[in-house]
Amino acid sequence: MKKLDKLTFILGVCLLTQAMANNANPENEEPSTYYLKQVADENPTLKAAMKIEGVETIYKNCFDHQYQSSGGTISGSRLMSCLWEGDQAAGIQGVSANEELKKQVLESVEKDSKGKEVDSIRYQQIVKTKKETEPGLKALQDYYSKKLDEALYGDRTQANYKDKLVKSERTVDQRVFFELQKTQLGKNLVAALSSYCIEAKNYQIGSSFYATIIPEDKTQRQSQRKNNLRKLKQLSATGKDLQASQEWSVCLANIQHMCHQPSTVYMMDDSGNKTPIPGINFSQGSLVNECLSQFPQNERDQKRDMCQDDINYSKSRACEVTQYITESRQNIIALDKTIEKYDELRDGKNKGTINFYSGNKSGESIDDLTSITSNEVVSSGYAQAVKTQAEEMDKCLRENDEELCKQYLNNNKDEAYRMIAEVKLKQEAVSEKLKNIEDGDTEKIKALLLEEGYTEEDAQQMATIDGIKDQINERYDAKKQAIIDQLSAKIEATTTKGDNFNMAEDQAKIENLQNELKQKPQEFAELVHFNNIVSGYLKIDNGEEQTQNTASIARELESNAFTRENLEASAELGLTNRQGGSYDDYANIVSSTGVSLDPGSYDDGGEKTLNTDNINDNLLNYFKKAQTQEDQP
């Protein structure tokens, strides 16, 4: 099967991360999470629950029963439910009903593949890239690998006696790779938030918070996307921000609530007391009603199903992003520890006379090296590679060529769903472990919070708050089914209906994949463009000062794919300006918000990026008022 990025957590691209991996790979560290991720097997450092004797039998019975009773169609959600809970009608007893098997599955998140105990209360789900790289991403990866190589090691010179390139006398401080990874993780995290917000509409509920809803219907999503892009050229009511940036700030603060859907959001005072915030309700029913409120009273009954679909779709997308934030946070924590250890080992050592690249201003900064502009989506070769792949798919459909078409779909349902089964088993094991923690066991609750990056003082205070353990459990349970449903839907979209490819049965899937592929260059360039501008207004608090990366805005405007000149140069790729109006006067609009675009005057925020405190305070916070347009950053 030729890999398409249909099996992804977040639509986007790995940017610099894989290029960095080609240059350095810190020992004993988990692989960094990627902006684009394919479904892979279980975390290889943990025991495989699917290899436990007895579990395999239950899975096979569930799979065979569903396959035979539905003519080869598999529902991932039903299959996973059968595996854990069983299927009474089919006479299948699930893993949870067998205490010995259940105990062994629980142990799969407590010990690694070598039998050593894992120093973690909670299994942190890790999904890695594997197998082939889709052509568009390969082009972008090569582009950034070359850019990174030249920046880190200097210019390459031609040897006099043979056609061979040699590196100049420069090497790289290993710490730079860690800082590059950390910065890239932070930027990818922000871009993941933007991938949700660029298609979301904010619904004000009362006067204190906003529900951010994405339409399930593709046409309506495109309409909302265009509307949000147009707001890049509109000023907010105060004139201090772009309207798009202000609404983006509201959206990103509420994404976790769209996933977890709590009926109550709490605020914690300085004394550690929690109080419910009046009027804040993200429950399913409340969100559906807010969606319906945009329609006249006499239309609401017929719109109810549509609103229910929109809320379900929004939850799925929000949980994708929330899971990505969770994984990124754990990787940032690991990198912080690595940098700290490295600094301790490096202190006092003589570096000699070698010329080190250290990420300073004398060359391209770490901010430069971890950035992409919308026009680089074109100049890197990404857009052309995707266009070429779409044309290849068109050829297979046009010529009705099964041999050409079958390479785009996977025909091994069993293998694909086994991957999800491993995730499901470990999810349920963690859920059981969390539920088994006593409400008054503040030490274990504190350990959970420390794993999430909270300080010793904050973790100690939060661990004593009534109901905190239940809140942790509820969040985990709210997210786990959404993750299974997402992975199942993605496998269904890229897997043949039967055991082998059949053009009559599978043509529609190829057509759907091709349509998505055709839209990718436009949508990805728009996402990069949107993200670079709105995130330039994001203020990051590092405890001492607030910084913002206005260089992101300046860099994007200097390399904007949607100017008339650049659109004409890339006409064959079919990109269009859907923001409304030209960009001739856009610098004036941005400057009117107080952002200076004069060379040398903008700020790249140093090498600062979102850190663990920022994530815990604003994106995954247990206790804090959801940000509104009045108290946005």
- Residue 172: pLDDT above 70? no
- Residue 171: pLDDT above 80? no
Pairwise pLDDT comparison (405 vs 123), residue with the higher score: 405
Q: Please, are residues 323 and 447 in contact by the beta-carbon 8 Å criterion?
A: no
Q: Please, are residues 486 and 316 in contact by the beta-carbon 8 Å criterion?
A: yes
Q: Which residues pair with 87 in a beta bridge?
A: 92
Residue 444 lies in a domain: yes
What type of residue is 147?
Answer: K
Residue 511 lies in a domain: no
- Residue 225: pLDDT above 50? yes
What is the average pLDDT across 529-547? 80
Residue 500 lies in a domain: no
Which DSSP state fits 454? -
Write the Ramachandran bin of 267: left for phi over 0, alpha for psi from -120 to 50, otherwise beta. Answer: beta
Largest CA distance in the chain: 83
The pLDDT mean for the chain works out to: 80
Residue 346 lies in a domain: no
Instruction: Band the pLDDT of 341: cuts 50, 70, 90.
Output: confident
- Which range marks the domain in which residue 96 is found? 46-129+412-495
Closest by CA to 83, choosing from 417, 532, 361, is: 417
- Residue 248: pLDDT above 60? yes
What is the average pLDDT across 243-253? 92
Dist. CA 95–CA 103, nearest whole Å: 10
What is the average pLDDT across 135-141? 75
At 106, is the secondary structure helix, strand, or coil?
helix
What are 357's two structure tokens?
A: 């690249």
What are 616's two structure tokens?
A: 């815990």
Tell me what pLDDT residue 23 has: 39
What is the average pLDDT across 63-76? 90
What is the average pLDDT across 525-548? 83
| Angle at 533 (CA atoms; ends 532, 535), nearest 5 degrees | 70
- Residue 98: pLDDT above 50? yes
What is the average pLDDT across 372-390? 93
Tell me what pLDDT residue 532 has: 93
Residue 456 lies in a domain: yes
Range from 168-172, 303-307, 477-481 that averages highest in pLDDT:
303-307
Write the Ramachandran bin of 12: left for phi over 0, alpha for psi from -120 to 50, otherwise beta. Answer: left
- Residue 133: pLDDT above 60? no
Helix axes 503-534, 382-398, angle to 10 degrees: 160
Radius of gyration, CA atoms only, the chain = 25
- Residue 17: pLDDT above 60? no
Tell me what pLDDT residue 315 has: 96
What type of residue is 206?
Answer: G
Tell me what pLDDT residue 239 has: 85
Helix axes 99-107, 55-69, angle to 10 degrees: 110
- Residue 284: pLDDT above 70? yes
Residue 117 lies in a domain: yes
Residue 490 lies in a domain: yes
Tell me what pLDDT residue 154 has: 60
Tell me what pLDDT residue 498 has: 85
Residue 76 lies in a domain: yes
Tell me what pLDDT residue 62 has: 96
Domains identified in the chain, total number: 1
- Residue 170: pLDDT above 90? no
